[in-house]
Structure 1
Amino acid sequence: RRVVSAGPSSGGSRRTAAGRQGGVAEPAASSPGRDALAAPGVGDQVDVALSRELEGLAHRAWPPLRERHVGGWVLRASAGSSRRGNSVWARGDVSDLSVALDEVRGFYAAAGLRPTIQITPVSVPAGIHQALDAAGFDDTGPTDVCTADLADLAERLDTVAPAETIMFDGIADTWLDVAGRVLSTFADQRTGTLKVLANLTVAAKYAMCVADGVPVAVGRGVFDGDWLGVYSMATVPGARGRGAARAVLAGLVTWAADAGASRAYLQVEQTSAAARRLYGALGFRPVYRYSYRRHHHPVGGPDVSPR
């Protein structure tokens, strides 16, 4: 596998980071038919501190274009790009839940978006789930947040078949072309997405796998604290199942390890069967599950894509 840097920072040769175990448990043993990435959801016990830390990391990795605070809630709007960027982060308490929901409806109506609240096992206040049921908010997009020790991940990726991985400091046109063929956030929601990524305050790297001279897969990594966040993983249909995603991930892991990261996290939708098999085999383990509660009455705005 060949790693090429297209900017001043190189993906570099592979280095195994000294893995720090804090916050990352050993992955559960998998068995036939078992989904190794199925995480605890609402009503289940989770690692509260780690779950809150990961939600904070994800917020910085996808900063909204506009936000408004209602008590402990963060109302986010990003021109329809991604559900995370256009939903409420219920991170803290509100003094009056009914009033807060009215604020949510008004905020998103003004933005031309469907009122949406991201729900995790650590969302507050108590009673939010029943209130959303009563207010006509549906439940969609279940997604599992998973973590891995970076040193272990690097070792598992050492078996990647030879491939050329190009690393970019910013979004190159070729990277964007591949992402746009697979991910709606880089296709019909491209304008908002590029504005979001221009607002990043954490270090980022863009990886692209090239097979036989043709770009076939991409991914985005963010480095925050001692964490590598893995985002925007996409492989064109004709190249799937050939190790392209593993090559992209290996490039991001090498970069993050060189930068001092010791842990990795990612989000994988419940319906992404192939991705779940890959990440489970690489040693990721689930921490918690989130979903989006959307008001069932649309306001004429665009539907937004996952995450």
Structure 2
Amino acid sequence: MRPADLEALERATVEAVAPPEILEIGGWLVPLDDGAIGRAKSAAPLRHDLGPDALDEIEAAYRQRGLEPGFRVAEVEALEPLRTDLFRRGYAARQPTLFKTGPVSQLAMFSAASATILTKPDDAWAAIFVGEGFDPVDGASRVAALARSPDAIYAAAGEGGETQAVGVMTFGHGWAGIHGMRTAPSHRGRGLAGAILATLGRAAEARGVTRAFLQVEEANPARRIYRRAGFAPIWRYHYWR
């Protein structure tokens, strides 16, 4: 991947989860938040060849605000010295996550089913995050962050006039980002997530955006649906805490 695309993806990723404050320190994006979303409270390098030079300053920025320092670092060879230094400082790599990209054209054709597009989350949309099968505290934090995402649209799908699946698409730096995909446990396997993805893909097409990205934890079975929708991994990262 070209360095300019890598930087654009990292900027789009952080801006989508709307941390209250974002610093730039020594080639890093440093989002400062105390919520549930890891991307909103973990420093990420804008290049995959950075060393540990800025770590002291980044740690200080978090601690000055009463926040726990955290880092989101790709598993690429050039960042091995950085990961080694984080380990030496007492950090541990957690939550292996895949960063995936795919063509909007394929996403838009993934399903013939449709979802409803909202310009802002309504109560039914938010209720999925705090309902059965989800941690209500974590869910409420995610709803608050995603609701303030700049240039975002929200999708809802369900049966019987009810909302049983939701998702978000954000736009920025030439990319469309998929976030907040949730389906009520009792309604999984019915094609609702596919309807959400395809509808968001068609919305991106209407804006002339051709590339989409998302992040999914390695252990999440939703990886299968994202693969079928055209998303392929470009790197894996961990959160260092």
User: Into which bin does the TM-score normalised by the smaller protein fall?
Assistant: 0.7 to 0.9
Higher radius of gyration, 1 or 2: 1
Report the Cα distance in structure 1 between the residues aligned to 2:164 and 2:139, rounded to whole angstroms.
Answer: 21
Match of 1:117 among 50, 57, 71: 71
Output one character per residue of 1:125-153: Cα deviation in whole Å (capped at 9) or x when no partner: 77211111111110011111112212222
Q: Indicate the residue corresponding to 2:123 in structure 1.
A: 173
Report the Cα distance in structure 1 between the residues aligned to 2:142 and 2:181, rounded to whole angstroms.
Answer: 18
Against the structure 1 CA distance between its residues 285 and 47, is the aligned structure 2 distance closer, same or farther, given a 3 Å change threshold? Answer: farther
> 1:272 offset after TM fit, Å?
0.2
Against the structure 1 CA distance between its residues 154 and 95, is the aligned structure 2 distance closer, same or farther, given a 3 Å change threshold? Answer: closer
Output one character per residue of 1:193-222: Cα deviation in whole Å (capped at 9) or x when no partner: 525642x44x21100002122210000011
Q: Which runs of 5+ in 1 are unaligned?
A: 1-45, 295-307
Against the structure 1 CA distance between its residues 125 and 214, is the aligned structure 2 distance closer, same or farther, given a 3 Å change threshold? Answer: closer
Q: How does 1:182-193 map to 2 (within 5 A)?
A: 187-188=137-138, 190=140
2:14/2:31 contact within 8 Å kept? no
> 1:244 offset after TM fit, Å?
1.0
Q: Which runs of 5+ in 2 are unaligned?
A: none
Matched, 1:69 2:24: yes
Report the Cα distance in structure 2 between the residues aligned to 1:280 and 1:55, rounded to whole angstroms.
Answer: 21
Q: Indicate the residue corresponding to 2:223 in structure 1.
A: 276
2:76/2:235 contact within 8 Å kept? no
Against the structure 1 CA distance between its residues 96 and 210, is the aligned structure 2 distance closer, same or farther, given a 3 Å change threshold? Answer: closer
Matched, 1:101 2:55: yes
Report the Cα distance in structure 1 between the residues aligned to 2:7 and 2:129, rounded to whole angstroms.
Answer: 29
Give the structure with the higher percent helix.
2
Report the Cα distance in structure 2 between the residues aligned to 1:95 and 1:49, rounded to whole angstroms.
Answer: 19
> 1:179 offset after TM fit, Å?
2.4
Output one character per residue of 1:105-126: Cα deviation in whole Å (capped at 9) or x when no partner: 3333343332211102569877
> 1:225 offset after TM fit, Å?
5.0
Structure 1 vs Structure 2: percent identity of aligned residues? 30
Report the Cα distance in structure 1 between the residues aligned to 2:216 and 2:52, rounded to whole angstroms.
Answer: 33
- What amino acid sits opposite 1:240 in the alignment? R
1:166/1:210 contact within 8 Å kept? no
> 1:68 offset after TM fit, Å?
3.1
Report the Cα distance in structure 2 between the residues aligned to 1:96 and 1:151, rounded to whole angstroms.
Answer: 39
Secondary structure at the aligned position of 2:181 is classed as strand
Q: How does 1:1-307 map to 2 (within 5 A)?
A: 48-91=3-46, 97=53, 100-121=54-75, 127-158=81-112, 160=113, 165-181=115-131, 187-188=137-138, 190=140, 194=144, 197-198=147-148, 200-201=149-150, 203-273=151-221, 275-294=222-241
Corresponding pairs, count: 239
1:80/1:189 contact within 8 Å kept? no
Against the structure 1 CA distance between its residues 139 and 221, is the aligned structure 2 distance closer, same or farther, given a 3 Å change threshold? Answer: same
Secondary structure at the aligned position of 1:211 is classed as coil
Report the Cα distance in structure 2 between the residues aligned to 1:207 and 1:95, rounded to whole angstroms.
Answer: 40
1:65/1:195 contact within 8 Å kept? no
Report the Cα distance in structure 2 between the residues aligned to 1:254 and 1:167, rounded to whole angstroms.
Answer: 11
Q: How large is the RMSD of aligned CA atoms in angstroms?
A: 2.8
